[in-house]
A = this chain, B = another copy of it.
Amino acid sequence: MDSSTRIEQALSAALARAETPSAPSKLASAMSYAVFPRGARVRPRLCLAAAAACGDDQPALTDAAAASIELLHCASLVHDDLPCFDDAALRRGKPSVHVAYGERIAVLAGDALIVLAFEQLAYVPCSPERLPHVMRIVGQSVGMPGGIAAGQAWECEPFCNLVEYHEQKTGALFSAATMLGAAAAGHDPEPWRAVGAQLGLAYQVADDLRDAAADEDELGKPVGKDVTLGRPSAVRDLGIDGAMRRLESLVKGAIAAIPPCPGAGDLRTLILSEAKRLVPKRLAQVAA
């Protein structure tokens, strides 16, 4: 089974837990709406790729771990889009959850997706000693003091450390993706942290570039939001050329950080193809 199929099936299986006939239908529907149709699924694909590089001997746990970080990613987008944060009306080219379902259901959908991300791990048939390792990585990537919630909270502090902000808001889930792949396959996750961390920083730089240089059709949401909101941005700090150079260096760093393993070659290929996809079309054409 290919990675995409595994990921969509794992996400569908997780969401099916929430969608019983007796469940309140708006919340159930909003949870699905936040997760489907598929986004790029960058993080879970990275998780599966790292697991494959490590032998992937318990694929059910790999799939659940991959679903967990995608559910948490989707939850963070729902809450980030809320009126009190970005007040974003569009996400992936369609109305954001609070626009489609109301603010209360959006808060609850985020909450319920966070719960589901952990809960569904408890149903996986796997070696019981692997579960706590996986849970710790998931928790660290999304909570406090170093996960997504922490990263988002830096936007509420008078002084924001740009490195910590990016590492936590974006890098944490990328580090988790590669570490979870390794941990699900019974390998030491720690050497895999740097691979995901570099890719997370690359992704954030690419996101800043897309916000500055893509058009709205390509992005599926309004552009120029970082500048409007006065948010930290690599483009603001380095300019477009500087940000492009930084992106390239981060991708090289991620590839260099891959620990020795049988699947290193495939992983390198995946990372390079991801990196190409991330550059805004306009800049890619200029660079070509």
Contacts and interface: CB of A to CB of B under 8 A. Distances in A.
Interface in A108-156: 108, 110-112, 114-116, 118-123, 128-129, 131-133, 135-136, 138-140, 142-147, 149-150, 152-156
Interface stretch (A13-21, A240-248, A249-257): A13-21
A35 B25 CA distance: 31
A153 B105 contact: yes
A234 B45 CA distance: 49
A79 to B, nearest CB: 6
A132 B122 contact: yes
A228 interface: no
A27 B129 CA distance: 32
Q: How many copies does the complex hold?
A: 2
Contacts of A214: none
A24 B150 contact: yes
A202 B179 CA distance: 45
Nearest to A137: B122
B119 A107 contact: no
A120 B140 CA distance: 10
A22 interface: yes
Nearest to A106: B84
Interface in A90-114: 102-105, 107-108, 110-112, 114
Nearest to A121: B135
Nearest to A110: B111
A157 interface: yes
Interface of A: 17-20, 22-28, 31, 75, 79, 82, 84-85, 102-105, 107-108, 110-112, 114-116, 118-123, 128-129, 131-133, 135-136, 138-140, 142-147, 149-150, 152-157, 164
Give 7 nearest A-B pairs by CB, closest first. A119-B139, A23-B145, A115-B143, A18-B144, A27-B153, A122-B135, A24-B153
Given A31-B144, A116-B143, 7 more contacts: A82-B107, A105-B153, A112-B149, A119-B135, A120-B139, A122-B136, A128-B131
